Structure 1
Amino acid sequence: MTPESSDAERWCVVTGGRGFAARHLVEMLVRYEMFLVRIADLAPAIQLDPQEQSGVLGEAMRSGRVQYVSADLRDKSQVVKAFKGAEVVFHMAAPDSLIYTSSPSVVFDGVHGILNGSESMAYPSKHNDSYSATKAEGEALIMDANGCNGLLTCCIRPSSIFGPGDRLLVPSLVAAARAGKSKFIIGDGNNLYDFTYVENVAHAHVCAERALASGGDVSSKASGQAYFITNMEPIKFWEFMSQLLEGLGYERPSIKIPAFVMMPIAYVVELIYKLLGPYGMKVPQLTPSRVRLLSCSRTFDCTKAKDRLGYAPVVPLQEGIRRTIDSFSHLTAGSQSKREGLSKASRILGGGKVADTLLWKDLKQTLTAVLILVSIYYNFVATGSTIITALSKALLVSSVFLFLHGILPEKIFGYTIEKIPASKFHVSKDTSHHLSLSVVTSWNTTVKALKSLCQGNDWSFFLKVVFVLLIMSFAGAVSLHSIFVIGLPIAFIVFLVYEKKEQEIDSVMLGFKSFACKRKNEVSEKLFGSKKYD
């Protein structure tokens, strides 16, 4: 759509208009009827959610009070086209006034906490992360642009935005709770934070626009400045998180871990991501900058915004929390959908009793198996018996058990003794047939493999065979004692951990696989590449 405006129309542009806070700003501008609104974003066309379709935004778009334009702010021609005829642009460059959405992180060094910080705080020599550093650079450019050719600018620094439509804070918090990671408090849990309900952030932008448009002393005092925006109700960071979790039906975090304990772990995770990130590893949640943010205090003074912009929160903190919880009813603990079908770990184990035992699906069955294995270990393995001796002992114990079980009466002191029917030891024709087929199939597969090796053409298959046989030779050298002491405990733990952390482990393995394939291709090119030109 080509943006056009008549002399009687007053247009504003909201860049990044499909973002979290920007959506609320657009709806507020529509409700206030201050401007006709042009949404500028990267997507070629706007896709409205069902709620937006039937709400204020959908109605405004159908009536023409809101337009959408696809624009890349790195392309000057697209920017000029998107801003044509606009009086105000929220967030990026504008003809008459410019309101830039920044962040309080521009004054946070990642080490020292901030209590009731004011706008007089200078930028740190080193920022906590690249996001904070680029926001600070943007602020500096916006401040320098104030007064150029009549342009009035200011910077809004909303602190820790939350509310309906959030796609980061609450979803990640719920994901952590469902994965059992929300039990922990990083630090002492007493660090204070200023959170800002998203509607208050939108209101702050409107206040800023009104102040810049007022003229006289009001606009001159408001322009060229940065403003902290909060709900003006500091709260302990972990208390805020606990209220959200409790409201959604999850447990409060309660286990405190000192930040100095988490930092080395975070650095290791960050290093692993730097190595495996290019090969598909997901961005980790645990990073040094995240640990600092979760353990430091960050509260800010909004006096300047109140005096010069006329800002005051329109939605109190507790009301904002309530609205946020209500909007995420689909993420409550009770709505958590169960896994459809078998897990990958269960499929690997065959999905039967072995899987149920190793994955602790049936606690009684698993504990029984553990007791039996412990008994076998102490009676047969730990004694240093040979395989034939151990097998003889096992058969002897089984024979004695079956004989004694057989001569027992059907009832003892009123308790019924379940007899083991002879059919338990009978192998049916179908089972025999399947077993025979399995043996024949295995033999045919082996013969096929031998034929392939005899041809001497498939290097990849040859290396796989060698690798498997080497593994088997190493495995054959492992004693029965080691299998019981090391192998079985690992089996009871590894498969359970894999089922719980399937996505994370698969992501890491995919990274390793991609890395290995890349190195394999490089080696192959060096060894065999020259043959192509012989």
Structure 2
Amino acid sequence: MAMPEENSLSLGTVLVTGGSGGLASQILQLFSQRGCEHLHSIDLRQPLRHLEGVTYHIGDLTNSDAIRRIFQDVKPDVVIHAASPKFDAPNHILYKVNVEGTKTLIQIAKESGTRFFVYTSSASVVTDGTADLKNADETFPVIVGDKQPEFYVNTKALAELYVLTQNYRAKDGHQHFLTCAIRPSGIFGVGDLVLLPGMLNVYFRGQTKVQIGNNRNLFDFTENTNVAHAHYLAAVALARFQNDTPGDDARVDGEAFFITNGEPRYFWDFTRLVWGLAGDTTRPDQVWVITRPWALLLAGLLEWVFWAFGLGEPSLTRTKVRLSCMTRYFCIDKAKKRLGYKPLVGLEEGLKKAVEDCVRRRNLEQGTATADMNDVKQKRQ
């Protein structure tokens, strides 16, 4: 399907939730670059860097009164719902924000006259944590409840299902409310606070000579500019088709879309590329390979010990073992055809910039911590 020029359609006022986070900041920046003049962000905290042209609002998605006041003031035409706690947040927080918060946001968006709603979901909503996913597409069922081992993913899946059921085309005098979901896999990039920092922590601890599994499992990763691009294309597509009802093979509203770089890599090849860009010189003959069963046993033991002594989460968990040994890559043909999606930033190009950014931020944080410690010592003297 041929796509018109991206900037040919005005989106009106756009509001992004979680706008102080890494991905949402990329979304705001990309929307701004493409001519969106009325951009707003909602987050619990102010961003580290304010983007020019963006109005920032402090608000808690679980506080319906506060969110309603912001929506009454902003009156967004488009909502990009990218806010979420980190995957390791307490379960009650994950459910309250991801599930209840999304339901509240949908209700308030409808009340305020929002027309288009794009939800940031996760490619993990179709995985049960054990079965390999090879070129998985949107026909794969969403897994929730007892069959979904990760509570974070369960809340993202429940929220996605709810968002898509709220898709509504105008009739009987009621305004349309069109929704869709974007499912990125393994997000990394400049501003990344999760994926690359976790991998680089292993490098900085000097643990790059250990590998879990045989490295025969392909895995999909996605640079965050590409994820932001997909959100933009989704919003444009919803707006373009608001007065038309395309056939099932072209429909965007009420649909979910996998988004990746389209460059699946063997998991440990990707990880060692990250480490190499940070300066690692480990040779293949220096690597000690631990089989998956032994790694799961060790991770389970560590989790029990850390739990028993109140030590938090160990560096090796059963979830990390499963992820590092799973085959998990996705088909993005649907996004290419219906959204006109194609990656803007290649995997290695994006990694070079992202690793550099991650190391720079780490050095700044360490410098601040060292300065703080020196200040404390001076005051003691």
Pick the TM interval, shorter chain.
0.7 to 0.9
> What aligned pairs does 1:26-105 form with structure 2 within 5 A after superposition?
26-43=28-45, 46-49=46-49, 57=51, 60=52, 65-84=53-72, 85-91=75-81, 93=106, 94=109, 95-105=114-124
Q: Deviations over 1:57-77 (max 9, x none)?
A: 1xx2xxxx3111111111222
**Alpha-carbon distance in structure 2 between the residues aligned to 1:255 and 1:9:** 53
Matched to 1:70, the amino acid is I
Matched to 2:303, the amino acid is E
Query: Is residue 147 of structure 2 the alignment partner of residue 126 of structure 1?
Result: yes
Contact 1:104/1:228 (<8 A) preserved? yes
Deviation at 1:171, TM superposition (A): 2.2
Contact 2:21/2:47 (<8 A) preserved? no
- Spell out structure 1 runs of 4+ moving beyond 4 A: none
Other-structure match for 1:225: 255
Deviation at 1:320, TM superposition (A): 1.0
Counterpart pick for 1:292 among 285, 305, 322:
322
Query: Is residue 21 of structure 2 the alignment partner of residue 19 of structure 1?
Result: yes
Deviation at 1:273, TM superposition (A): 3.5
SS at match of 1:222: coil
Q: Deviations over 1:427-472 (max 9, x none)?
A: xxxxxxxxxxxxxxxxxxxxxxxxxxxxxxxxxxxxxxxxxxxxxx
**Alpha-carbon distance in structure 1 between the residues aligned to 2:358 and 2:226:** 19
SS at match of 1:221: coil
SS at match of 1:150: coil
Matched to 1:79, the amino acid is I
Deviation at 1:330, TM superposition (A): 3.0
Counterpart pick for 1:269 among 302, 308, 323:
302
More helix by share: 1
**Alpha-carbon distance in structure 1 between the residues aligned to 2:326 and 2:162:** 29
**Alpha-carbon distance in structure 2 between the residues aligned to 1:233 and 1:225:** 23
Counterpart pick for 2:12 among 1, 5, 10:
10
Consecutive unaligned residues of structure 1, counting only runs of 5 or more, are: 1-7, 341-534
Deviation at 1:47, TM superposition (A): 4.2
Query: Is residue 219 of structure 2 the alignment partner of residue 189 of structure 1?
Result: no
SS at match of 1:115: strand
> What aligned pairs does 1:315-334 form with structure 2 within 5 A after superposition?
315-330=345-360
**Alpha-carbon distance in structure 1 between the residues aligned to 2:318 and 2:142:** 20
**Alpha-carbon distance in structure 1 between the residues aligned to 2:256 and 2:42:** 24
> What aligned pairs does 1:428-439 form with structure 2 within 5 A after superposition?
none
Contact 2:212/2:321 (<8 A) preserved? yes
**Alpha-carbon distance in structure 2 between the residues aligned to 1:262 and 1:331:** 31
Contact 1:158/1:196 (<8 A) preserved? yes
Task: Report the CA distance shift for 1:310/1:184 in structure 2 as closer, same or farther (over 3 A).
Answer: same
Other-structure match for 2:231: 205
Q: Deviations over 1:383-441 (max 9, x none)?
A: xxxxxxxxxxxxxxxxxxxxxxxxxxxxxxxxxxxxxxxxxxxxxxxxxxxxxxxxxxx
Task: Report the CA distance shift for 1:320/1:147 in structure 2 as closer, same or farther (over 3 A).
Answer: same
Matched to 2:55, the amino acid is Q
**Alpha-carbon distance in structure 1 between the residues aligned to 2:11 and 2:130:** 49
Deviation at 1:19, TM superposition (A): 1.2
**Alpha-carbon distance in structure 1 between the residues aligned to 2:253 and 2:137:** 17
Matched to 2:276, the amino acid is E
| Structure 2 length-normalised TM | 0.77
Deviation at 1:218, TM superposition (A): 5.0
Contact 1:174/1:331 (<8 A) preserved? no
Task: Report the CA distance shift for 1:178/1:79 in structure 2 as closer, same or farther (over 3 A).
Answer: same
What's the Cα RMSD here? 2.5
**Alpha-carbon distance in structure 1 between the residues aligned to 2:43 and 2:22:** 13
> What aligned pairs does 1:27-426 form with structure 2 within 5 A after superposition?
27-43=29-45, 46-49=46-49, 57=51, 60=52, 65-84=53-72, 85-91=75-81, 93=106, 94=109, 95-124=114-143, 126-147=147-168, 150-215=176-241, 216-217=244-245, 221-252=251-282, 254-277=287-310, 281-330=311-360
**Alpha-carbon distance in structure 1 between the residues aligned to 2:166 and 2:11:** 26
Deviation at 1:152, TM superposition (A): 0.6
Deviation at 1:205, TM superposition (A): 0.2
**Alpha-carbon distance in structure 2 between the residues aligned to 1:47 and 1:199:** 18
Question: Which structure's relative contact order is higher, taking Cα pairs within 8 Å and 6+ residues apart?
Answer: 2
| Structure 1 length-normalised TM | 0.55
**Alpha-carbon distance in structure 2 between the residues aligned to 1:249 and 1:9:** 43
Percent identical pairs in the alignment equals 35
SS at match of 1:106: helix
**Alpha-carbon distance in structure 1 between the residues aligned to 2:362 and 2:64:** 45
SS at match of 1:86: coil
**Alpha-carbon distance in structure 2 between the residues aligned to 1:229 and 1:10:** 25
Deviation at 1:184, TM superposition (A): 1.4
In our comparison, the structure showing a higher alpha carbon Rg is 1
Deviation at 1:97, TM superposition (A): 1.1
Other-structure match for 1:520: none
Consecutive unaligned residues of structure 2, counting only runs of 5 or more, are: 1-9, 82-101, 170-174, 371-381
SS at match of 1:306: helix
Contact 2:19/2:47 (<8 A) preserved? no
Q: Deviations over 1:467-489 (max 9, x none)?
A: xxxxxxxxxxxxxxxxxxxxxxx
Task: Report the CA distance shift for 1:9/1:106 in structure 2 as closer, same or farther (over 3 A).
Answer: closer
The range that moved more, 317-326 or 129-138, is 317-326
Matched to 2:168, the amino acid is G
**Alpha-carbon distance in structure 2 between the residues aligned to 1:10 and 1:229:** 25
**Alpha-carbon distance in structure 2 between the residues aligned to 1:289 and 1:137:** 20
Deviation at 1:82, TM superposition (A): 2.2
